Structure 1
Amino acid sequence: MKSWSGLLALLLLGNLMSAAELGISGTRFTLDGKPFPFTGVSFFNAIYNPTFNQDSASRRRWLDEFRAHGINVLRVWCQWDNARGFVDAGPEATIYKKDGALRPGPLATLKAILADADAVGFVIELCLFSQESYREGKYLEPAAQDKAVAALTRELKPWRNVAFQIWNEKSHRTLELLRVIKAEDARRLVTSSPGVAGVLGSDEENAALDFLTPHTTRQGKGRHWEIAPREIASLLVKFKKPVVDDEPARNGTPQFGGPRGATSPYDHILQIYAVWQLGAYVVYHHDMFQTGYGTPACPPSGIPEPRFSPYHRVVFEFLAQRERYWNEAALPPKP
């Protein structure tokens, strides 16, 4: 009986380890060695959203909806415990305990998301820590932070369809945490968002990370659809690794780094197109997170639904035409 139990455990582990693996070839992403057209949307609250996590079938229906609009990557946050009134945010919306132990509920939900994402060819960009929480005093001391990151790295080792993003808009112990991750899982791809819009990161950090995910210049500095691609191009040339235009210029509320004046969906389309022509990648930012439930920008589901907002629908329809507009060198070969 014991031998059969051991065999079953090995088989189950083998199934888990069969998750598709995100990789890198030069400045391009791959999935199981094939070109992967990394195209994301911000879904910060994914772990804590009850509609998305009703059951596996519900998650897969939503993933199918995203995929129909060109999306194959979700940017998800472990730490969503800020007090800004964001969708599904709250003191319990974190995967970490103060001592660095992991909270079993959110961890189990994250694993379920990773399993469903893998089943339908999605990648998760998992943001470990957020400056929003840090600014409110919700952070771990260094020893607890190392403990949490090491534990999370071990727990998620079977899932190869997840990349770790150490920070959202901050640079604090980034290199130390990178070493912690690599000591537990040398193959795990790691990035970080080093600061707010237009902060592209230090040379030391950019050289050490596997790929780059800066938050490029937004509307307050001018024609972001021209400025941001220049920033992305400079990083590609200098560091020769994949670059993602992560959480770019936004529509909607001027709060929390948003635009002060009117915007157009075509601002975003022009920026995405220019980034694609460079052979770089995008994670589109949905403004529902800054407004919260009950506001016109936020779907009742609390999910960044591609069809909900007439404004965002224009951009999602463009994303759905990726193969028509992307730099052809980034696409998988045609059969």
Structure 2
Amino acid sequence: MSALVVPSAAGLYCPAGDFHIDPIKKVPRAVITHAHADHARPGMGQYWAARPGEGLLKIRLGRDAPLSSLDYGERLQLGAATISLHPAGHVLGSAQVRIEVADEVWVVSGDYKRCPDPSCAPFEPVPCDTFVTEASFARPNFRWQPPAVVVREIFDWWRQCQAEDRTAVLFCYALGKAQRLLAELATLTNETVLLHAAMTPLVKAYRQAGVPMLPTEPVGDRPRGTSFAGRLVLAPPGAGGTPWMRRFAPYSTALASGWMQLQGTPRRAAYERGFVLSDHSDWPGLIRSIEETGARQVLVMHGRSEALVGYLRERGIAASAFAPETEIATAPLRAAKPEAQA
């Protein structure tokens, strides 16, 4: 079995096609799985990405970035490799990269989830010989409740804040989680939600892509003494504990993240409430996705690989940790990622 993707100092590299996937250094040709900052970086010679995420990537990379958009499933020849992009279910425009060379097929998953999400296309199992999977939550104890259950918990917390004349400040990642929450909550209410400035252009990009969401307004610079009692405010985790928060007092805080499943952690203790809602697959979702590819070989990256590799080997699948140089180079970034993007 030939290696269609190998580690390099710039990230995952496909020698047959002479391109990188989500590179961390400037390269001539980059295939991007999605618009999160640790996957899409400016400065590449040419980009290819899935068309639904084009608006987000223009915000991330700049309007003049040399970006070519592909429809899901559209085939592109790069050198000796034929590539196509397929829905990953992570955020709007997220994609798995299918690479075919001769009679060998590899799929690099990027980040993905299996829970239903009204803000992006659902994950599509892609048959392959080798599947490169993420492992953000690759431990058996990570198992998500149905999203509708969690969204109802969030809505009830918001209603409790309204009854107590408090502002409900919900921290969540600005790209993906915020828009998903706005889409999920639209099944329960039509009330206007207030947004931190970092979220406004990203929410606009989702609207332009046709994703239905609750109406929103920027928090903006409102007159001193403005009451936010009973309002729901979405903000990135970095806004917590800053002077920006003073205007909302009295308020209640919560974080929406898969890491909220872990009890007794400093991350959870920093918020009054924690809602377990992740844009990554839980343990059953990882196993299901791997099995549905029919892959004979599985390479595991981005997270704790030991449990997943051991489980797959017990079931006769050739599995191993795939720790490219990108994981070493971005270790500080990934250490900060779980609270923000999970």
- Tell me the TM-score normalized by structure 2: 0.32
Q: Which has the higher helix share?
A: 1
Larger Rg: 2
Q: Which has the higher strand share?
A: 2
- Tell me the TM-score normalized by structure 1: 0.32
